[in-house]
A and B are shown apart, each in its own frame.
Chain A
Amino acid sequence: MRQVLFVDHAFHRRTRSSAFFLDLLRRQFAVTVLAVDPDRPDLHALRAPPGTEAVVLWQLDYLAPIFLGQGLRTLVLPMFDGSANLPDAHFLAARGAGFANFSRALHERVRMLGLPSHLLRYVPPPVAEAELPRFDVLRGFLWQRRPQDGIDIALVRTLFGDQLASLHVHDVPDDPQAPRAADPPDLPFPVTRSTWFEDAAGYRAQLACCNVFIAPRAAEGIGLAMLEAMARGMLVVAHDQPTHNEYICNWVNGVLFNKDAPGAANFADAAAIARRGWQSVRDRHPQWLAQAAQIGGMLAALPSPQPLPPHRLDHLIRTLPHAFAAGPEAYARTLAGPASAAAPPAAPPAFAAGPGVEEDEAAAPLLAPARDAQGLGTIDFANSGARPYLREGWSFDEPAWVWAEGLRATLAFRLPHPADTDITLRCLAWTANAQHPAPLLVGVLLNGHFVQEVRPADMISAIVLRLPRFMLRDGADNTLEFVMSSVFAAANDRRRVSCAFCQMEFLPATEEPAAPFRSIESGHAAPAFEKA
Chain B
Amino acid sequence: MTVAQRIRPRRAGNLSEAAAPPARPRLFLLDPVCVLPFGHNVPSLNYYRTYLAGRFDVVGPFVCRHLPDTVRDAAAFVRHFGFYYHDFIRIDAARDAAAAGALAEQARRDVAALFAAHDLGAGDRVLVPSADYHLVRALLDVLRRRPAAQRPRVFLRFIGVMEGASRDVADPFDDLLDRMRCAIADGLPISLAAETPAYADLLSVRIGRPVALVPYPLIGEQLPLPPPRPLRIYSAGSGRFDKGFMDLLAIARSVACSPLAGQVEFAVQLLPDAELRNVQSYASQLYACPGVTLLPAILTGAEIVAQYRQSHAVIMPYDADIYRLRGSAILMEALAYGRHVFTGDGTAFAAQVRYYGNGAVCRTTEEYVAAIAQLAAAPVQELAVRLGQARARFAIDTDAAYRNWIT
Which residues of A are interface residues toward B (Cβ below 8 A)? 104-105, 108, 112, 240, 242, 245-253, 272, 276, 279-280, 283, 421-422, 466, 469, 508-514, 516-517, 526, 528-531
Contacts and interface: CB of A to CB of B under 8 A. Distances in A.
Range for the number of chain B residues in contact with chain A: 20 to 34
A283 B290 contact: yes
Contact of A529 (B94, B281, B288): B94
B273 interface: yes
Interface string B275-313: 011001101110111100000001000000000000000
A364 B205 CA distance: 66
Contacts of B249: 249
Contacts, number: 98
Interface of B: 36-37, 68-72, 90, 92-96, 249, 253, 256-257, 261-262, 272-274, 276-277, 280-281, 283-285, 287-290, 298
A105 B261 contact: no
Contact of A279 (B70, B71, B261, B272): B261
Given A276-B256, A276-B290, A529-B93, A511 B68 contact: yes
Given A276-B261, A279-B262, A422-B69, A513 B289 contact: no
Given A105-B280, A512-B298, A276 B92 contact: no
Contacts of B262: 279, 283
Contact of B273 (A272, A279, A514): A514
B298 A511 contact: yes
Nearest to B82: A531
Nearest to A280: B290
B277 A112 contact: yes
Contact of A108 (B72, B95, B256, B280): B280
Report which residue of B72, B261, B284, B289 has the largest number of chain A beta carbons within 10 angstroms of its beta carbon: B284
Contacts of A246: 284, 287-288
Given A252-B253, A513-B274, 14 more contacts: A240-B281, A245-B285, A246-B287, A246-B288, A249-B256, A252-B256, A252-B290, A509-B70, A511-B70, A513-B36, A514-B273, A528-B93, A528-B94, A531-B96
B287 A517 contact: no
A247 B284 CA distance: 8
Nearest to A105: B280
B68 A517 contact: no
Contact of B276 (A108, A252, A526): A108
A245 B256 contact: no
Contact of A513 (B37, B280, B287): B37
A108 B286 CA distance: 14
Nearest to A256: B285
19 contacts: A104-B284, A105-B284, A108-B277, A112-B277, A252-B253, A252-B257, A253-B290, A272-B257, A276-B256, A279-B290, A421-B70, A422-B70, A509-B68, A511-B72, A512-B37, A514-B274, A517-B92, A528-B95, A529-B93
Contacts of A104: 283-284, 287
B273 A512 contact: yes
Contacts of B253: 249, 251-252
B50 to A, nearest CB: 22
Nearest to B255: A252
Contacts of B94: 528-531
Nearest to B300: A511
A104 B274 CA distance: 17
A508 B70 CA distance: 9
Contacts of B277: 108, 112, 514
A513 B281 contact: no
Given A108-B276, A112-B277, A511 B71 contact: yes
Given A245-B281, A421-B69, A511 B37 contact: yes
A466 B92 CA distance: 9
A218 to B, nearest CB: 15
A248 B68 contact: no
B290 A112 contact: no
A513 B92 contact: yes
Report which residue of B36, B68, B249, B276 has the largest number of chain A beta carbons within 10 angstroms of its beta carbon: B68
Contacts of A250: 285
Report which residue of B36, B70, B253 has the largest number of chain A beta carbons within 10 angstroms of its beta carbon: B70
Contacts of B90: 526
State the 9 A-B residue pairs at the shortest beta-carbon distance, nearest first.
A514-B273, A511-B37, A249-B289, A528-B94, A249-B288, A529-B93, A246-B284, A516-B92, A530-B94
Contacts of B37: 511-513
A240 B285 CA distance: 10
B67 to A, nearest CB: 10
Nearest to B230: A283
A428 B69 CA distance: 26
A464 to B, nearest CB: 11
Contacts of B93: 528-529, 531
Given A512-B273, A517-B274, A422 B284 contact: no
A108 B257 CA distance: 28
Contacts of B92: 466, 513, 516-517, 526, 529
Given A510-B70, A513-B37, A513-B272, A248 B280 contact: no
Given A466-B92, A513-B37, A514-B273, A276 B257 contact: yes
A508 B272 CA distance: 20
Given A279-B262, A513-B92, A249 B290 contact: yes
Nearest to A515: B273
Nearest to A508: B70
A122 to B, nearest CB: 14
A104 B95 CA distance: 35
A253 B96 CA distance: 52
A252 B95 CA distance: 48
